[in-house]
């Protein structure tokens, strides 16, 4: 159990460190569950669960201020439930989602507390022209949240999925409902921040077209993406044709 706990901690650190490694997508369930399967002795079950959870988080990514439910924690606890407790993938998904939402709330709380403290200390080092101090604060702000969350995930793994489920059941229903509502609002804020930066008079029509396709047409993300690619191809080909036709026109009237 000690060796497994250490390995789970390292897997969690690897998952949370994906952004420090250049957004390598290591934190995705298809990777995390496969690694957990290797550690727990059943890589096939880990890969199968990873594929099931990947469908849940397909297309989920941090956009602006929006952060999806914690995939690393969901993958770790889901894998432990399937492999160690003998549960099925459907029950693992039902367990992983609320845990992922809860851990994401902890992640936001930790970042809201630690990052301002580290940034304030970095400002002091900047006034002192202390390059090493600034660098140390940068690494501290990056890895302290990773270590805390990895330790929490490892603790949950050690005490068992049943104990974690008991803790989740003890949380009042209105708290879970509030988290669900908050997780639904935060992505909208993130998309609004991104849209504010990229939307202009020339592109706003495409935003409304995508909204219309989803809201009125009932299209999913894949369908909207394909439609956008077709529209981009049509516009690109027409622009190129127009440019070629314009260059081919020879006007002898210099005036």
Q: How many CB atoms lie within 10 A of CB 93?
A: 18
Collect all residues with Cβ–Cβ distance below 8 Å to 46 and sequence separation of at least 6.
Answer: 33, 34, 35, 36, 37, 38, 40, 79, 83
Flag whether pLDDT at 12 surpasses 80: yes
Structure tokens at 213: 């396709």
Say if 186 falls within a structural domain.
no
The reported pLDDT for the residue numbered 221 is 79
Least confident of 48-52, 152-156, 176-180: 176-180
* φ, ψ (nearest 5 deg) of residue 218: 70, 25
Least confident of 33-37, 141-145, 193-197, 210-214: 193-197
Q: Are residues 232 and 106 part of one domain?
A: no
Residue among 157, 115, 138, 117 at smallest CA distance from 2: 157
Q: Are residues 237 and 127 part of one domain?
A: no
Q: Are residues 212 and 87 part of one domain?
A: no
The reported pLDDT for the residue numbered 78 is 80
Q: Are residues 203 and 148 part of one domain?
A: no
Flag whether pLDDT at 182 surpasses 70: no
- d(Cα 100, Cα 153) in Å, to the nearest integer? 11
| Overall pTM surpassing 0.85 (yes/no) | no
Flag whether pLDDT at 173 surpasses 60: yes
Least confident of 7-11, 80-84, 147-151, 243-247: 243-247
- d(Cα 109, Cα 116) in Å, to the nearest integer? 11
Q: Are residues 228 and 121 part of one domain?
A: no
- d(Cα 192, Cα 186) in Å, to the nearest integer? 10
Say if 215 falls within a structural domain.
yes
Q: Are residues 88 and 211 part of one domain?
A: no
The reported pLDDT for the residue numbered 95 is 73
The reported pLDDT for the residue numbered 164 is 61
Say if 210 falls within a structural domain.
yes
Say if 107 falls within a structural domain.
yes
Q: Are residues 209 and 144 part of one domain?
A: no
The reported pLDDT for the residue numbered 110 is 79
The reported pLDDT for the residue numbered 246 is 55
Write the pLDDT tens digit of every residue in 204-253: 888 888 888 888 888 887 888 898 899 888 888 877 665 555 555 555 55
pLDDT band at 77; cut points 50, 70, 90: confident
Say if 182 falls within a structural domain.
no
Q: Report the half-sphere exposure of 82 (CA within 13 A, side-chain side).
A: 30
Q: Are residues 16 and 61 part of one domain?
A: yes
DSSP letters spanning 80-97: HHHHTS---HHHHHHHHH
Say if 177 falls within a structural domain.
no
The separation between the first and the last C-alpha atoms of the chain, rounded to the nearest angstrom, is: 87
Residue 70 burial (CB < 10 Å; 0-12/13-18/19+)? buried
Domain that holds residue 159: 2-172
Rounded mean pLDDT of 156-161?
A: 74
Q: Are residues 131 and 22 part of one domain?
A: yes
Angle among Cα 139, 144, 150 to the nearest 5 degrees reads 130
Q: Are residues 57 and 151 part of one domain?
A: yes
Say if 191 falls within a structural domain.
no
Number of domains in the chain: 2
Q: Are residues 148 and 28 part of one domain?
A: yes
Q: Are residues 220 and 153 part of one domain?
A: no
């Amino acid at each position: 159990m000690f060796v497994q706990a250490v390995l789970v901690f390292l897997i969690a650190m690897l998952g949370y460190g994906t952004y420090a490694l250049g957004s390598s997508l290591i934190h995705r369930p298809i990777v995390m569950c496969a690694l957990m399967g290797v550690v727990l002795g059943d890589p096939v079950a880990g890969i199968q669960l990873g594929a099931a959870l990947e469908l849940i988080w397909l297309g989920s990514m941090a956009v602006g201020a929006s952060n999806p439910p914690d995939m690393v924690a969901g993958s770790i606890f889901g894998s432990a439930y399937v492999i160690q407790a003998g549960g099925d993938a459907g029950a693992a998904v039902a367990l992983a989602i609320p845990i992922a939402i809860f851990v994401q709330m902890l992640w936001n709380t930790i970042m809201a507390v630690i990052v301002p403290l580290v940034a304030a200390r970095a400002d002091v080092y900047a006034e002192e022209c202390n390059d090493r101090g600034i660098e140390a604060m940068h690494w501290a702000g990056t890895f302290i949240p990773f270590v805390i969350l990895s330790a929490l995930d490892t603790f949950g793994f050690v005490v068992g999925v049943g104990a974690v489920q008991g803790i989740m059941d003890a949380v009042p229903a209105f708290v879970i409902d509030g988290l669900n509502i908050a997780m639904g609002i935060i992505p909208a804020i993130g998309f609004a921040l991104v849209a504010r930066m990229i939307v202009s008079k020339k592109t706003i029509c495409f935003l409304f077209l995508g909204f219309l396709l989803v809201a009125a047409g009932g299209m999913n993300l894949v369908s909207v993406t394909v439609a956008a690619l077709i529209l981009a191809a049509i516009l690109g080909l027409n622009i190129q044709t127009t440019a070629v036709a314009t260059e081919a026109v020879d006007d002898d009237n210099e005036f």
